[in-house]
Amino acid sequence: MANDLLSALRTYLAKVSSGEKSPQEVAAALNAWARESGEAIKQRVEEEVQRSVKRMGFAKQEELDRLSREVEMLKAKLVTGDRSQKKSSTKAAPKKSAAKKKSSTPVKKSATRKKSSK
């Protein structure tokens, strides 16, 4: 880039010296050249930054926004699904059968007596 600038300056200096161009025309041409060069540099820097960001694994803001919307949508579906499950589970709750009652009279066990040995 430095070589480009030097060669452009030499060319314009020669044109001003020979009377082909006025100093104002040379200044305007140099301003245009500087803007174009600045845009080219800006584009190169942006491309390099994007490559570096991609290589490092960073996410873009638009990707984060899309994922946030998707999470909110899934949460809404989950809440809606929970409500419908609660309604259906309360309606179709199975009834338990009553357990059989034990008799209230105690059963006596017969005790065996030991014979005394005399």
Tokens found for residue 7: 């060669």
Domain span holding position 46: 1-56
Alpha helices in 19-105 (DSSP H): 23-56, 61-91
Tokens found for residue 29: 């041409």
Whether residue 39 lies inside any domain: the answer is yes
Q: Which residues contact 41 (CB under 8 A, 6 or more apart)?
A: 1
Indicate if 4 and 51 belong to the same structural domain. Answer: yes
Indicate if 17 and 40 belong to the same structural domain. Answer: yes
Alpha-carbon distance 67 to 74, whole Å?
10
More confident residue, 105 or 47: 47
Indicate if 68 and 43 belong to the same structural domain. Answer: no
Number of domains into which the chain is organized: 2
Whether residue 78 lies inside any domain: the answer is yes
Alpha-carbon distance 28 to 26, whole Å?
5
Whether residue 117 lies inside any domain: the answer is no
Tokens found for residue 75: 């949460």
Q: What percent of the chain has pLDDT over 70?
A: 69
Give the pLDDT confidence of 42-81 residue by residue, as tens digits. 999 999 998 998 899 888 899 999 999 999 999 999 988 7
